[in-house]
Amino acid sequence: MRYSPFLGEAVVIRESLFWLKILRLDNVILESDCLLVIYALIHLSPDVSKIGILVSNTYNDINQ
């Protein structure tokens, strides 16, 4: 099974946000060179791709 670099970056961002939430750290600047993933996080639009589903789940998890 092959994964794209975009999916890898989305997983890393998700894990980073997960740990930041557990540690109760806010006002953190998250930087990435993957504009596709950052754009997906900023502009939540329906996306049924692997990245879209991961981004949607990430957004829902950090807002609980």
**DSSP letter string, 10-21:** HHHHHHHHHHHH
Q: Tell me the whole-structure pTM to 2 decimals.
A: 0.64
Q: 1-38: per-residue pLDDT in tens?
A: 566 787 788 888 888 888 988 899 988 888 888 888 78
Residue type, 59: Y
7 contacts 51 by C-beta, under 8 angstroms: yes
pLDDT tens, position by position, 25-35: 988 888 888 88
Is 70 exceeded by the pLDDT of residue 46?
no
| Domain chopping of the chain, boundaries | 5-62
**Cα–Cα distance for residue pair 54/7, rounded to 1 Å:** 8
